[in-house]
Structure 1
């Protein structure tokens, strides 16, 4: 996902978004909750990165952990942790019964 740029996104007539990253032979499926974000990104001019669009390097060191460090939750919530975010994501997929073999 770190390599995806706005030019890699193509909106189909149905409204679905196709992600095609050169050199990456992997199907990237978007969950419904993120469709609007990708539609907005697909409509942006240029070829900025979708995640952290103002960066210049394709694979910046500590890309996700530095993002988590910059976004401090309010209201007494705990600090974001990439490890905990990944675990929450996996639990969400398992709860939705999404198979890893798809």
Structure 2
């Protein structure tokens, strides 16, 4: 099953916690060499640094931001410096570009 098929099955949930508060427990037991794909409507500095820590523990980290974000270019540039790949995936065409 490819990643686009898996993403098509993702279900939305409302969370009161921020990504930086919720994610650490979810990824605490990831094995070295794991690939972490995070689909989120918003990524802030705290979340980006948390994902950088996952990278430092041996994970490959990709973030798909699925809603408009004003400071996207700055977050993407910072992510590149922190070895966190950040992509804007608002439209299906954005996903098609990544899949190519």
TM-score (norm 2): 0.26
Decide which structure has the larger Cα Rg and report it: 1
Between Structure 1 and Structure 2, the one with more strand by share is: 2
Between Structure 1 and Structure 2, the one with more helix by share is: 2
